[in-house]
Amino acid sequence: MGFFAFVIGVLFMVVVAPVWIVFHYITQWRAQRGLSAQDEQLLAELWEIANRLEGRIHALERVLDSEAPQWRNKI
């Protein structure tokens, strides 16, 4: 019985345990590949801020075009 338990233990340590560890870390890696909910919210806020800033830049360019039409050539 002792030899049989030893063989089973060695087989577990050589075959099952490494495969188990590899699959564990593969599932951990896949779970962390995507964005978290907090990251998605931050990304959405940054996108909204960027869109507002773009609108402001376009408004400033329109004002400059109407008041100083040659401002683009001075740069």
Q: How confident is the model at residue 58, as a pLDDT?
A: 97
Euclidean distance between the first and the last CA atom of the chain, given in angstroms as a whole number = 89
| Average pLDDT of every residue of the chain | 91
Read off the pTM: 0.54
- When comparing pLDDT for 6 and 49, which is higher? 49
Mean pLDDT of 8-13: 90
CB of 40 closer than 8 Å to CB of 32: no
**Which tokens hold the place of 49?**
């801020």
Q: Name residues whose C-beta falls within 8 Å of residue 35's C-beta, 6 or more positions apart in sequence.
A: 43
CA 38 – CA 16 distance, rounded (Å): 37
